[in-house]
Amino acid sequence: MHVVINTDHNRLEIREGKKQLWLEPWGEDAFRVRMCIGAEMDANDWALSEKMPFVKLDVTEETVDTTDPWYATAEWEKYHQTGTVYTVKNGKITAKIGTEGWISYYKQNGDLLTAEYWRNRNRINRYAVPLRIEARELKPYPGSTDFELYARFEAFEDEKIFGMGQYQDGHLDKKGASLELAHRNSQASVPFFVSSRGYGFFWNNPAIGTATFATNKTEWYAKCTKKLDYYITAGDTPMEIEEHYSLATGRSPMMPEFGLGYWQCKLRYRNQQEILDVAREHKKRGLPMDAIVVDFFHWTMQGEFKFEPRDWPDPEGMVKELKDMGIETVVSVWPTIDERSENFGEMAEKGYLVDADRGCSYHMSWMGNTVFYDATNPGAQEFVWEKCKENYYKKGIRIFWLDEAEPEYGPYDFDNYRYFAGPALSCSNIYPAGYAKGFYDGLKKEGETEILSLVRCAWAGSQKYGVLTWSGDIYSSFRSMREQLKAGLGMSVAGIPWWTSDIGGFLGGNIQDPHFQELLLRWFAWGAFCPVFRMHGERSPWYEREQEFIDNVRQLTSGQDNEVWSFGEENYKILSKYLFLRERLRPYVRECMERAHTKGEPVMRPLYFDFPEDKNTLTIEDAYMFGPDLLVAPVMEEGVTVRSVYLPAGTIWKECSTGKVFDGGQTVTANAPLDVIPVFARDEKEFEIYK
């Protein structure tokens, strides 16, 4: 091993044969670590593209002699020979590099945060075993410049893992989980976590792979890549760690005002008249609404990005009328390009479509044979935006629903797809960020300052493009509702503060079924305390309509009604109650969004983030903080009218529905009739939630 202190580039370099590793300060209290095999480090910064405050490299060297008895008992710095140990400090985090290049990370007070996992026989400590397992492995594919990558770290029994994006596994704490690093419908891999040991870790690699938080080791794996690249930061609190990470990957813009209220959506408003009738009825009833969605298959054909004129004869007039009512129009865009569409030939010739390395190049065959456009290609991003600009933006539309953003391959054979940025195995996870970036850049170029896109997936850094993610086509059940709470918290911790789910679930949900109606009421109440409050759903069974065709293009039918008055009069009273509750919360939600914008705070977050001194909060997975002052405990089981809620220690809590006051540090029984979601205000703060 040869160590170089590279003052020109402000980094420590470890060289061994053709391997080179860089460890450098990356803003305050953080390091970025990269390793490659070859003459040059791969230049992709991926999500770590933000300009960071300069922190001068602070390295000390110490020559050690392992015959000293101290080294026979020290827990982590044990070496088999005399050599030089390097200590690199950056504020609240310290890296120590042993005589053979092993790295461990420490807090300011000297406590270990985490350490690389080595199992080589030449170590003299308890890990002196002949397994020959290294912490960092780049295994080359013969005859290529691509590698399989493994990065391994020690496991700790007391560690809790929060974040990693959106997974439908029903667990907030990811310790013990094996997570696929890949996007699927309802799954978004955003590989950043906050550890209860006081550090945050970001795997800056968009390759398909896995992350395993096992009891014997933590292991990151990338199937095809050029380098190892990760970011690690330390802080006194989880919020401080989030602040560091969000600075490194980018922060959300300020949420536009229309994002603070209620969004109306269904599968699907089939024409202009339907959408206007619903909006007019909302306003006639005096109900608040900030946005309404024109969903998929309003277009002439997939990949043509324009209204079908028979059903949408006057989009400009529709948008203007809605705007006059105080309602923004949101339009669905899909990245699927039908082989029959007017844009297919040009996009194929210019390399704007995702390629297949073998076999048929079609990616989806639903409602037409389609191929996804290549959102990693800047030219393709601009092409799609220009079409949407001409056919939507110029008609007054400013908000886009970017669906199918994983993208939703059928099947997910990642080894068969190839992007402008490289083989899908090496870069597929950046797709949703590129998809959003194309629209963000286009809107910004037109002078727009309040940019928001509803996107069905995200990767690290997506948030800086005004991305509002939702949790995909999830099922209508209480189990699914419980899973979405964990998914939303995981996404928020991973740096994506604008999040929502389909209220009531997307698949299924018969509006005449009392069991579904109860689910909808509970979900709607919870939705009022989510970052964005949005109704959506398929609502089975679909209407029985004959198949319709326009110019030989099949038209999609619709689901049942999905407005707040569609579920019976008694339910309407409860649903409308929460519409007005959200309006009263609007100033508070605005403050939460400001904190997300300026400091990177998650809008919804685990209790532990606000109360790290109370270790009981580490295991609470059925309640959360909505901003700094409201503890929300949704009812997520059928037939329940009371529920237990743990109130964190160190403050006093007021139950908003009853006015009762409780000391923190105890579990209480909360009032939860069908029209009440348990909410507690911190320090007895006054909120006009229930009137």
> Which residues have a catalytic role annotated?
403, 406, 473
Beta strands 11-16 and 422-423 are unpaired
- From CA 560, how far away is CA 566, in angstroms rounded? 9
* 3 state SS of 24: strand
Q: How far is CA 323 from CA 226, 275, 276, 332, 396, in A?
A: 49, 13, 11, 18, 9
Kind of pairing between the strands at 652-655 and 642-647: unpaired
| Cβ neighbours around 542 below 10 Å, total | 13
Token pair recorded at residue 582: 């959200």
Q: Determine the Cα–Cα distance for residues 630 and 85; give it in Å rounded to an integer.
A: 48
Handedness of CA 642, 648, 649, 652 (dihedral sign): negative
Considering only CA atoms, which of 99, 83, 103, 84 is closest in space to residue 31? Answer: 103
| Exposure string over 414-425, b if 16+ CB within 10 A, otherwise e | bebbbbbbbbbb
Task: Judge contact between 200 and 194, C-beta under 8 A.
Answer: yes
Measured from the Cβ of residue 186, the count of other Cβ atoms closer than 10 Å reads 24
Note the Cα 527 to chain centre separation in Å.
18
Give the C-alpha separation, 46 to 41, whole Å. 13
Task: Give the other-Cβ count within 10 Å of 132's Cβ.
Answer: 10
**Token code pair at residue 251:** 């922060």
d(CA 596, CA 532): 13
- Cβ atoms of 505 and 537 closer than 8 Å: yes
CA–CA gap between residue 134 and residue 132 (Å, rounded): 6
Q: Could you tell me whether strands 291-294 and 370-372 are parallel, antiparallel, or unpaired per DSSP bridges?
A: unpaired
Return the H-helix or E-strand segment holding 277: helix 272-284
Q: DSSP for 559-598?
A: -S--STTTT-HHHHHHHHHHHHHHHHHHHHHHHHHHHHHH
Cα angle for residues 224, 230, 233 (degrees, 5° grid): 165
**Residue 105 · residue 133 · CB < 8 Å:** no
- HSE of 419 in the Cβ direction (CA atoms, 13 Å)? 29
Helix (H, G, I), strand (E, B) or coil at 275: helix
Closest-CA residue to 139 (of 150, 126, 148):
148
Three-state SS across 95-132?
EEECCCCCEEEECCCCCEEEEECCECCCCCCCCCCCCC
8 Å CB contact between 232 and 105: yes
DSSP string spanning 479-520? Answer: HHHHHHHHHHHHHHHTT---EE--BT-SB---TT-HHHHHHH
